[in-house]
Amino acid sequence: MPRFSVSIHIVPRKGLLDPQGKAVADALHALGFATVADARIGRHIVLEVDGESAEAARAQATAMCDKLLANPVTEDYEIAAVAGG
């Protein structure tokens, strides 16, 4: 079965405080990067998944996000890319 590299973004829900993002934005300002208006920090997960097709790999990844990878109370996820095969 071909192997796919599935790239997933998991980000804190809009409206929820993102302390890491805020800390990074503050640190960037302190370092003189005045052009930064905002920073949000989430997770970037890359899964190597065996599947019949890119669609199958994506479906698998979606199931994994729903079951484990993202917490629906606080996070949104997006399957950003499926590569290889």
Closer CB to a second copy, 31 or 73, in the complex: 31
For residue 22, state whether it binds a second copy (rule: CB under 8 A). Answer: no
Distance CA 41, CA 9 (A): 10
Residues that bind other proteins (CB under 8 A): 12-20, 22-24, 26-27, 30-31, 41, 43, 66-69, 71-74
- The single residue among 13, 19, 48, 71 that binds a second copy, judged by CB under 8 A, is 48
Shortest distance in whole angstroms from residue 46 CB to other proteins: 14
* H or E stretch covering 81: strand 75-84
Closer CB to other proteins, 15 or 35, in the complex: 15
Total number of residues binding a second copy (CB under 8 A)? 37
Q: Which residues pair with 76 in a beta bridge?
A: 11
Distance CA 6, CA 54 (A): 9
User: 46, 61 in Cβ contact below 8 A?
Assistant: no
DSSP-derived letter for residue 78 is E
